[in-house]
Amino acid sequence: MNDQDYTAVFTVDQTPEEAFAAINNVRGWWTGEIEGSTDKSGAEFTYRYKDFHYSRQKITELIPGKKVVWRVVEASLNFVEDKTEWNGSEITFQISQQGDKTEVRFTHVGLVPEHECYNACSGAWGSYINGSLRSLITTGKGEPNQMRIGIIGAGNIGGTLARHLTRLGHLVSIANSRGPKSLTGLANEIGAKAVSVTEAGNAGEIVIIAIPTKAVVDLPKGLFANVSSDVIVVDTGNYHPELRDGRIEAIDRGMPDSRWVAQQIGRPVIKAFNTIFAKSLLEKGAPKGAPGRIALSVFGDSLDGKATVLRLIDDLGFDPVEGGNLDNSWRQQAGTPAYCQDLEAAALRHALEEAVHERIAEYRAAEEARIKKYMAAQKT
Ligand SMILES: NC(=O)c1ccc[n+]([C@@H]2O[C@H](COP(=O)([O-])OP(=O)(O)OC[C@H]3O[C@@H](n4cnc5c(N)ncnc54)[C@H](OP(=O)(O)O)[C@@H]3O)[C@@H](O)[C@H]2O)c1
C-alpha cells in the first residue's frame, strides 16, 4: 500500500458489524452482474458491467467487524488501452471504531494516478463507496444502479438534466462549446465533471445531446467512432428553423428531427426530454403515484435503449411513456399536441395519437410564433 493508492473514507453511526455485513453484500451496492459468493473467505466472485468491465476477485481476508480484502485475480477493462490494469491489485475495506462512530476506509491498492483508468475508476469508486455503500450501511438501501452519463450541452436542458442526474447518484460528465474551464462552477456546484465534448461522448453508458439542432454538424467528426454500440445516445433537440437553426432541407422535406441528428452523428438515437420546458424539468418532478405526475414520452428503435431511458425518466420524477420507433418521433416534435403541455400519462398517449403527420411544419411554425410572441412580451 502507498499513499498514491486510491482511498475513500467515511464515518457512520452504525456498528462495525453492520458496516462489515453491508460491505459483504456486494450486490447491494455495486452495479452490474455479480456471480459467486461474496461473503466467504477464500471464495471467488466475478463482476461484469456490460462490455465495460469484467473482473474476478478472490476474498483473501475476512475479519468480522474489522477487515475485508479482495485480490483481483483477473480483469478486463474495455475503456482503457491496457485492459489488465487491475490485475493483481487489492481492494481493501478497513473498519474501525472511532469513539461512538464507525470508520470505513476503502483502499484500492495498486489503483494509482499513472493508470489510464485512474480518473474513471476513482470517480466510480468514490460514488460507490461514499454514495452507494454508505447508503446501504446507513439506510439499508444501496444505490447500485449508478450509470456513467455524458451530457453534451450545459444550457437549460443539459444543465438541468446534469443537476438531477448527479442528485440521483449517477456519474455525470458535462461539456459545452467553450471547454471544461467554463463549466467548473456548475460542475462543482452539482457534483458533475466538466469535460471536453470528446470526453463527454466517451463518458459511459449514456450520452445526452442537448445542443441546438444546427450545432450537431459542429460536433467533432467521428465522435462516436470508438464508442461501444451498447452506449445509448439521447437527442433532446427541437428544430427551430426561423428562430435559431436556419433551414435544414432534409427535415423540411419531412425527415424526423432526430433521424437527421442520428444521420449526422452516425449513431442511432433515442428522442427524449424534448417535450418538457427546462423549468418544468427542474421543478415539477414528483414521486411515483403522485396525483398529476407529468409524463414524458420516448421514441427510438432500440428496445433496450428505450427501456433504460424510460427508467431514468421515472427516477427523475416523471411517468415514462413508450412512444414508438424513431420514424414516428415526429409525434413529439415542436408544436405537436404532446409538446410541452405537462400532461399526465393517459393524456400524453392521447395527444401523441392525435398528432397529424401532414401538419408537422404547421405545428413547428405555430410553436415558433408562440416563442416569438413570448420573447416580445418579455422585452416590453
Ligand atoms: N430550453 C428548453 O426548455 C428546451 C426544452 C426541450 C428541448 N430543448 C432543446 O434542447 C436543445 C438544447 O436546448 P437548451 O435550451 O438547453 O439550449 P441552451 O440553453 O442554449 O444551451 C445550449 C448548450 O449547447 C452548447 N453547445 C452549442 N453548440 C455546441 C457544440 N458545437 N458543441 C458542444 N456544445 C455546444 C452550449 O454551449 P456554449 O454555451 O458553450 O456555447 C450550451 O451549453 C435544443 O435543441 C432545444 O431546442 C430545449
Q: Look at ligand 1, atom 23, and give the residue with the nearest C-alpha.
A: 153
Q: Which residue has the higher pLDDT, 118 or 178?
A: 178
- What are the b/e assignments for 346-374, b being 16+ CB within 10 Å? eebbebbeebeeeebeebbeebbeebeee
Ligand 1 center–CA 104 separation, angstroms: 41
The CATH homologous superfamily for domain 6-139 is START domain (3.30.530.20)
Q: Domain ranges in the chain? A: 6-139, 212-379
Order of strands, edge to edge, in the sheet holding 295-299?
193-194, 171-175, 148-152, 206-209, 232-235, 270-271, 295-299, 319-324
Dist. CA 297 → ligand 1 center (Å): 20
pLDDT of residue 315: 84
Instruction: Give every CB contact of residue 119 below 8 A, 6+ residues apart in sequence.
Output: none
Specify the 3-state DSSP secondary structure of 83: coil
Residue 59 CB neighbours (<10 A) = 22
Q: What is the maximum span of the chain, computed from C-alpha positions, in angstroms?
A: 74
Atom of ligand 1 nearest to the CA of 218: 31
Nearest atom, ligand 1, residue 277 CA: 3
Confidence (pLDDT) at 50: 66
With contact defined as beta carbons under 8 Å apart, do 56 and 65 qualify? no
Q: Quote the pTM value.
A: 0.77
- Within 10 angstroms of residue 192's Cβ, the number of other Cβ atoms is 23
Asked if 6-139 and 212-379 have one fold, the answer is no
Least confident of 138-147, 179-188, 201-210, 216-225: 138-147
* pLDDT score at 147: 87
Nearest CA to ligand 1 atom 18: 155
Long-range contacts at 346-355 (CB < 8 A, ≥ 24 apart): 347/295, 348/295, 348/296, 348/297, 348/319, 348/321, 349/321, 352/297, 352/321, 352/323, 355/330, 355/331
Mean pLDDT for all residues in the chain: 94
Mean pLDDT value of segment 2-27: 96
Summarize pLDDT for 236-293 with one digit per residue, the tens: 999 999 999 999 999 999 999 999 999 999 999 999 999 999 999 999 998 778 899 9
| Confidence band for 81, pLDDT divided at 50, 70 and 90 | confident
Grid coordinates belonging to 19 = 458496516
User: β-strands 90-98, 101-109: how paired?
Assistant: antiparallel
Q: What ligand 1 atom has the least distance to the C-alpha of 236? A: 10
**What pLDDT shows up at residue 355?**
98
CATH topology of domain 212-379: Rossmann fold (3.40.50)
Question: What is the atom index within ligand 1 of the atom nearest the CA of 237?
Answer: 45
Q: Whose CA is nearest to atom 14 of ligand 1?
A: 156
Q: Give pLDDT, residue 128.
A: 87
Q: Which residue has the higher pLDDT, 77 or 295?
A: 295
Per-residue pLDDT tens for 170-197?
A: 889 999 999 999 999 999 888 888 999 9
Calculate what percentage of the chain has a pLDDT beyond 70. 98
What would the pLDDT profile of 28-71 be if each residue is shown by its tens digit?
999 878 999 999 999 999 999 766 789 999 999 999 999 999 99
User: How far away, in angstroms, is 155 Cα from ligand 1 center?
Assistant: 5
The pocket around ligand 1, CB under 6 angstroms, is made up of 152-158, 175-178, 197, 210-213, 215, 218-219, 236-238, 274, 277-278
Return the best residue to mutate from 151, 156, 297, 333 for the ligand 1 pocket (most ligand atoms within 8 A of CB): 156
> 126 pLDDT band (50/70/90 cuts)?
confident
